[in-house]
Structure 1
């Protein structure tokens, strides 16, 4: 059964709560967690957009998107960030011996540390293996094949990948058919760092106020200043355009929107 979907900038986002999503993941699925940065990139990046069509679930990973959905008159029920969904998933299935996870991503040692922490919390070896891919791995067919072989040999049926967007989403799209045992794909960004304890999450009050981006900017200014202060600021203009029905003619670059005629744009 499909959940109700809310259209935000021509991307349908599932209006679903965490409990319902976890129940549905009993049978597997591909889960992406759109945030402001995703929605801006999706207006311009056709490969990223095509990868999004592979997702079974697209759940809101931003309080700003929650605010935008209310402004647009189609409020989403719940913010489900990857960093909330992932621990909820392993806690929900921690006692289910049939659920085995593989962690892909992070700097050297991060995924292994996250694995140790998760397995300690659930009291079993739920994470069966990890891999830290080298920089640029997604452009190296031999490296991609090596990763696929490691995943297939691990016996895992859940892949949690945290290598950043749009890399993680496009990699899933390109290679999911070769990972024959994987039923559930979770694209979770920086969550592996949170689980390993190498990065701290924003305080709850900042997240609720839509200021998690500011917390991350303060923590990683060199890496994130351009994303948050330059690239993603167009989000607010795009939302205004949607509110006043201007998107059907041009996107914010003044060009014909590549999303205008897509099936997703009409959901």
Structure 2
């Protein structure tokens, strides 16, 4: 991970990490993370430098990384890994050298970033999901943050052979933050293949199914379930055929990794 000067709005933010489940995870809280991303995006303007690459880890990601070294290597190419899982947060004070302050779920982080971004003139690009879901996500964000600037947006249905054309379109639009919603592990592989081509983009943030939530297609779990670390159960109830089997496999493996592979 590359060191960054994280001074923003007159304050200095250092980004310590701690190892959770074998991954170096940021211990910054929600608002600190949001300020850092906006500050980094603004600093990168006109630099033609590599984007600051931020991704996230939850139980699924930790479990997959423990079984797939190639995927783990993709994660380790990121400059920042957020803790998007309550077990990571709750157990960090017991199993790791530093306690993670709070869960930084991308579905919440996008709003914390956007509150700052619309004031700072930060430009977004939304990449991923279907054309309709993408369009609705952009429309809802524009409704909720009237001063937010979108440099562009497009769906995630393109081939690997088309990636150079897609990246050229993104770079030409000059976004400060590129939100990539292609799903795990596809989005991490996409960033790793193309980050050199994305010089000039300030921040690249992988975001999983974020646009499904922003568009209104998917709903968030009740706050008490989020706080209890049961958002996975809520999602499994909504999509049992797709998610229940996955969670029954990945949750125990992730818990094992968190307990025995943190420091």
Class of the TM-score when normalised by the shorter of the 2 chains = 0.7 to 0.9
In the aligned structure 2, how far is the partner of 1:112 from the partner of 1:188? 16
The range that moved more, 79-88 or 112-121, is 112-121
Larger relative contact order, structure 1 or 2 (CA cutoff 8 Å, min sep 6): 2
Query: After superposition, what is the alpha-carbon deviation per residue over 1:22-69, rounded to whole angstroms, capped at 9, x for unaligned?
Result: 222212322111101111111122232222222221111011211221
Root mean square deviation of aligned Cα: 1.9
SS in 2 for 1:189: coil
For structure 2, list consecutive stretches of 5 or more residues without a partner in the other structure.
6-13, 42-51
The one of 107, 110, 119 equivalent to 2:133 is 110
1:56 aligns with 2:79: yes
TM-score, reference length from structure 1: 0.83
After superposition, residues 45-124 of structure 1 pair within 5 angstroms as 45-72=68-95, 74-97=98-121, 99-124=122-147
- Shift in Å at residue 237 of structure 1? 2.7
- Residue by residue, what CA displacement relative to the aligned partner does 1:199-257 show, whole Å, maximum 9, x if unpaired? 111111001001000001111112212220123321223334347xxxxxxxxxxxxxx
Say which one has the larger Rg: 1
User: Are positions 1:184 and 2:203 aligned together?
Assistant: yes
Offset from partner CA, 1:119-157 (integer Å, 9 cap, x none)? 2222235122211122xx4xx332212221221232322
State whether residues 37 and 232 of structure 1, in contact with CA within 8 Å, keep that contact through their aligned partners in structure 2. yes
Aligned partners of 2:100, 2:258: CA distance in 1, in Å?
15
Q: Structure 2 residue aligned with 1:27, among 40, 43, 60?
A: 40
Gaps of 5+ in 1: 244-266
SS in 1 for 2:119: coil
- 2:54–2:205 contact (8 Å) kept in structure 1: yes
1:96–1:4 Cα change, 3 Å: closer
Are the equivalent residues in 2 in contact too, given 1:86–1:188 (CA < 8 A)? no
- In 1, Cα distance between the equivalents of 2:148 and 2:100? 35
Aligned length: 239
Structure-to-structure mapping, 1:131-142, within 5 angstroms:
131-134=154-157, 137=158, 140-142=159-161
Report if the CA contact (8 A) 1:95-1:122 is conserved: no
Q: 1:196 aligns with which of 215, 221, 229?
A: 215
Match runs of 1:203-214 below 5 Å: 203-214=222-233
Moved over 6 A (4+): none
TM-score, normalised to structure 2, is 0.84
SS in 2 for 1:185: strand
Distance in 1 separating the partners of 2:218 and 2:188: 22
